[in-house]
Structure 1
Amino acid sequence: MPRSKSLMVFILAFGIFGIINTEMGIIGILPQIAVKYGISVSQAGLLVSLFALAVAIAGPILPLLFSGVNRKAIMLCVVGLFVITNVIAIFASNFTIALIARIVPAFFHPVYFSVAFTSATSFVSKDQAPKAIARVFMGVTAGMVIGIPITSFIADVSTIEMAMLFFAVVNALAFIAILLFVPSMPVMERVSYGTQLSVLKKPVLWLSMITAAFVLSGMYAVFSFFAEYLDKVTRMSGGLISLMLVLFGGAGIIGNLFAGKWLSQHAARTALLFPFGLGVIYLLVYLMGAFTMPMAVLILLWGVLFTLGLNISQYWITSAASEAPDFANGLFVAFGNLGVTIGTSVGGLFVSGMGTEHVVWSGILFMVLSFVTIALRTSMYRTKQVSSG
């Protein structure tokens, strides 16, 4: 990829980092937010759950509505909105205002994701598209894993307002980078709403969306209880758990690089092997979860496969509806968040009903389901876009 195009893909990824950092980083300061507004931690958790709900609702709708707008302009608008609402949240006098400042930009979260993914693929040839998407996904990984500890650290050494200012600053830097370095990207061939919606008639797309929901459910059913597992089962200290999160995130960035290469060359084979590979990791975690060193090695492999699952889910949906890329990416965001919600809920049931060490069985259950739908799609709809070469 030429250097100029690599820079633009990096900027798109940095914008996603800013948005994901806003979404997930708040988790690290929920206790302080509860104290600030005199509410319970569970009430403060609405800042996370309602954000995700807004993303899931907007995912199939807003990317479709904005699919004809200049892509640079819409990215600037979305990132700019995140800057403004983050600043409002810093000075919010009560929890209701803070909650509104979170929910409003959340509706536009899938718009930026959709446009960023579509723009990244427009910079490269079709066979290099998975690699470009994988690089953009680095922003997701960084936001999920780096955002939480950084925000928590800032709040610990300074104030909660300074931690929230970090959200605004990152998004402001992304806004400036997009403004200065990303060229105007008008939509030259606008696809009508009717044509985009018509992709919903394709059984392969529905099968792909169900697969994405299963994959994300299987990933988050276990990952949502990552820290608790290391605490209760592996008996790691808080500092060591933080280190394991960093290890997981670093491995995830490496996984993005592998994902782009594997999906470019052997998409169907990679997708078929993924649920088997993650299922084996979960089984080994169950068998060796009490041992620190084996768990560290498993976490490294787990991190690589985790981001591979994100890439596969996005590719599986967009390759099934390549004629409506913006809408397809919006569907990925919606069904991905649906998977996160389902997986976390089911994983929680396993934890409360059977114990923390048994949460891996919820992940294995979803991996079995995703393998079935991946195999079904591969056998029924083996096309050039998803063939294993």
Structure 2
Amino acid sequence: MKKIAYIGCLGLIGIISTEFGVIGILPQVAEHYQISIDKAGILLSAFALVIALTGPFMTLLSSGFDRKKIMMLSIAIFLLTGVVSSLAPPFWLLILVRLLPAFLQPVFISTAIAAALAHADQKKAHQLMGIVLGGIAIAMVTTVPFATYMASIFNWQASFVVQAVVTGLALLAIFKGMPPMPVREKKSYGTQLKILKNPAFLISATMNFLMVAAWFSTYSYFADYLGKVKGMDTKMISYMLFLFGITGVFSNWLAGKMLSISIPGTTAFFLAGTVLVPFMLEYSGGNGWSTIMVIAIWGFLYAPTFLNASAYLISAAPHALEFANSLSTSFGNLGVSVGTMLSGWVIADMGVKQSPWVGMCFGLMALLMIFWRTLLERNSKFFSHISDQ
């Protein structure tokens, strides 16, 4: 199943290139359309909000269809978005065309993970999931900084050309490399919806939302922060995105190993970065080498966010894998949307320098959710043990 996992990984690289590729070009987009940076941020927050609101429903509706066909349809729409966006349409149309693939993004991710795990044993499950979700870290080290670099040489539209090329390659890989994968046994909607009654699952979903919001409060404005606070130009920012991704590739691999030992411990370890990084950014000041070191650490701690979020949420609902995955994607993207929007409002009022502190507040609440679920499960095991005696 590794072949299918790697194909899913390539598809995810295309998806992440489309969703987060705008982060490095937001200042250029804002300048082109003569709008403020927080309004340009709508390109990211609106995309994420659509995923958050529609993801679970779209996944339930598509759960009975051939997984290969669903993955091809999803990537084809991402390809269309990249092509149209590269033509620099009016801003309202740019937003609209970016919303289309958002409806199918969680469908692709949950389907790709389910396809990779279809015949895998439990011991390899986290590693295969890590390969698929590793597409996020790989995109951060390859396509996202490369798209930003191309935008610095040519114009911001070049970023979307890069996204279109990657999604085109992913579409070809799915078509050529994946066998038909019809769903043999479709689970009822009721069976999958039962997980919403599980308190541990609801706490985990809340943690998922808060953790992603914590990271994206700052990461969404990565280019603006480094430009205005650290005095970097677009080309230097593209190098920092590359560094950010390089450390992330390693940490994503490491997290896949650590999750097999302890899911809550691994999640809490990387989440602690949302508290640590704001202080490091603040006290690195204008020192170039210190800032580079902080960005490397930032990328290391940020990269496994979506892997940790999925593993943490699925551990509370192991019998509804695809639906749990879609909810993980939806709550995560709700975090992207809320983190980006709330931080944008703070930036508009107080400046981009304050965005990391917004993230820290979300991060502390997410750590509290991990503690709450751990306490809940320990109490549940204790009372279960008492009743057995």
Cα deviation for residue 27 of structure 1 reads 4.6
Matched, 1:181 2:138: no
Match of 1:52 in 2: 48
41, 61, 64: which is aligned to 2:60? 64
Q: Distance in 2 between matches of 1:237 and 1:161?
A: 18
Query: What is the alpha-carbon root mean square deviation over aligned residues?
Result: 2.9
Aligned pairs for 1:293-312 (under 5 A) are 293-312=289-308
Deviations 1:88-114 (A, max 9, x none): 555687555544432222211111011
Match of 1:125 in 2: 121
Q: Distance in 2 between matches of 1:219 and 1:32?
A: 22
Q: Distance in 1 between matches of 2:231 and 2:31?
A: 29
Q: Distance in 2 between matches of 1:139 and 1:367?
A: 24
Identity %: 35
Match of 2:387 in 1: none
Question: What's the TM-score, normalizing by structure 2?
Answer: 0.86
Cα deviation for residue 242 of structure 1 reads 2.5
Gaps of 5+ in 1: 385-389
Cα deviation for residue 87 of structure 1 reads 3.7
Give the letter for the 2:304 counterpart.
Answer: L
Change (3 A) 1:114 1:236: same
Q: Which shows bigger deviation, 210-219 or 74-83?
A: 74-83
3-state DSSP class of the match of 2:258?
helix
Q: Distance in 1 between matches of 2:321 and 2:366?
A: 23
Cα deviation for residue 302 of structure 1 reads 1.6
Aligned residues: 379
Deviations 1:149-203 (A, max 9, x none): 4334445555766653433322221111112212222222211011111111111
Give the letter for the 1:282 counterpart.
Answer: P
133, 140, 146: which is aligned to 1:137? 133
Cα deviation for residue 275 of structure 1 reads 3.1
Match of 1:387 in 2: none
Match of 1:255 in 2: 251
Give the letter for the 2:50 counterpart.
Answer: A
Q: Distance in 1 between matches of 2:215 and 2:233?
A: 24
Q: Distance in 2 between matches of 1:320 and 1:77?
A: 30
Q: Which shows bigger deviation, 165-174 or 341-350?
A: 341-350
- The answer (yes or no) to whether the contact 2:204–2:312 under 8 Å persists in 1 is yes
Match of 2:333 in 1: 337
Q: Distance in 2 between matches of 1:202 and 1:9?
A: 29
Matched, 1:377 2:381: no
Match of 2:242 in 1: 246
Q: Distance in 1 between matches of 2:133 and 2:43?
A: 23
Q: Which shows bigger deviation, 219-228 or 13-22?
A: 219-228
Gaps of 5+ in 2: 382-389
- The answer (yes or no) to whether the contact 1:219–1:363 under 8 Å persists in 2 is yes
Match of 1:222 in 2: 218
Cα deviation for residue 378 of structure 1 reads 1.6
3-state DSSP class of the match of 2:183?
coil
Q: Distance in 2 between matches of 1:64 and 1:176?
A: 26
Question: What's the TM-score, normalizing by structure 1?
Answer: 0.86
Q: Distance in 1 between matches of 2:364 and 2:185?
A: 40
Q: Which shows bigger deviation, 187-196 or 207-216?
A: 187-196
